Structure 1
């Protein structure tokens, strides 16, 4: 786990390393949240506010709509930003349209715009956008399939379309641009609760030299601890485990503190 060695572990500190994700379509969550106290389980702002109260510092909004169908996004981002969370936003599976469209999303409240598909299919466009907007306003995402023995290949279109492109080559592209961070997502493990692919997070961290967010497979605090301690991850992404109501950011961070304090991982 990457620690600065000066501050003791605490649930509040660890909560800031846990990044919840909300999948969005048409301005609402794609599935109802099981978190308690919500007047509307599809309300993105209400769900986000709960994560913020529990100590989360960042939120990943995965907007599955096409750019042409996301006209609601500026108003939604304005409202979600009021929760105090830093917003990492993906639109249309991490594609980049015109710099004008990207600027509108950033101006509306996004702290960073996620790039995934475009780095595989149009790396020159990504480099141009990074030059125009600033690389820190972009966050990389590599959706991956495979394993350490066979290697990992990039998937595009939100993981729906396989390619023959080596994930570590894509990671190096992001590293050369010095984007904000790189999310390493194992599509094979999504929704399984079986834990992150730590070989993947380590390999991506080494190839990119960027802060890495582990993603795909989160099911327990022990697995989060594994990624932060032994997977070279700086942050961990959680989706279904908190969206379902099984855990909260607070319960995960408290258990995570115990795991790391006891040497689990």
Structure 2
């Protein structure tokens, strides 16, 4: 179960954006220390959400090399999913990133994304669909970390990612971020259907039951968690154990 739970660390200037309350950390802002605790808890992958622009991430290759020592597979987003040149991508991939995420560039520069797939291979990219809305009126894409709303249909973008055969698709409803009310299961199901890609549910995780719902009825392959573990309220291990009970132990 722990392998299906992907913890996320938000990063700026090489440190976590908020102090972590994970027990036993010598420095609550130390990204490597936080990641190490997640790895010890059984996590298999880590989503590193780097808020800095590409012009300010000279520290990132060294950080990725240090994080690589944890054994975690590193999924990396820089500047809210803006994709730079293939050479800059290659630098981070060579330093230890398993895949780079793409969101903003898929809306603003789709040809750049297609070119990156040709140079790097689809398996080195993860599509991210940050959206707002609900099924009846439709979901609309947000770019630049939610700062810019668009009229672009989220499912259209999800389908484009599927046509490029990227590694996976992260489906996030920003309306639910930080709420703990659970993922938008209609969004995860719809994006999984149109893209035919493995979907990572994101936005709103607050309990193991909600994680189980995403995997069981939301057609998600993985679930992203951030504040629920960063705050120390749950651990990857405790969520995984509860998740197993919900999926296999007969819990409702």
TM-score using structure 2 length: 0.99
Unaligned runs of 5+ in 2: none
- Aligned partners of 1:225 and 1:264 also within 8 Å: no
Provide the secondary structure at the position in 2 that maps to 1:232.
Answer: coil
Shift of 1:204: 0.2
Q: Cα offset for 1:216?
A: 0.1
Rounded Cα–Cα distance in structure 1 between residues aligned with 2:251 and 2:110 = 39
Q: Give distance in 2, aligned partners of 1:89 and 1:136.
A: 13
Find runs of 4+ consecutive structure 1 residues off by over 3 angstroms: 262-265
Q: CA RMSD in A?
A: 0.7
Q: Which residue of 2 aligns with 1:261?
A: 248
Counterpart-to-counterpart distance in 2, 1:97 and 1:220:
36
Counterpart for residue 122 of structure 1: 109
Answer yes or no: is 1:252 the counterpart of 2:248. Answer: no
Contact 1:142 / 1:167 at 8 angstroms: preserved in 2? yes
Any idea what SS the aligned residue of 1:97 has? coil
Structure 1 residue aligned with 2:29: 42
Q: Does 1:159 align with 2:141?
A: no
For the pair 1:141 / 2:128, whether they are aligned, the reply is: yes
Distance 1:240 1:58 in 2: 16
Structure 1, unmatched stretches of 5+, are 1-13
Using the alignment, how far apart are the partners of 1:247 and 1:44 within structure 2?
18
SS at match of 2:74: strand
Report the counterpart of residue 180 of structure 1 in structure 2: 167
1:20 aligns with 2:7: yes
Partner of 1:67: 54
CA distance in 2, matches of 1:246, 1:224: 15
Whether the 8 Å CA contact 1:226–1:264 is kept in 2: the answer is: no
Question: In the alignment, does 2:209 pair up with 1:226?
Answer: no
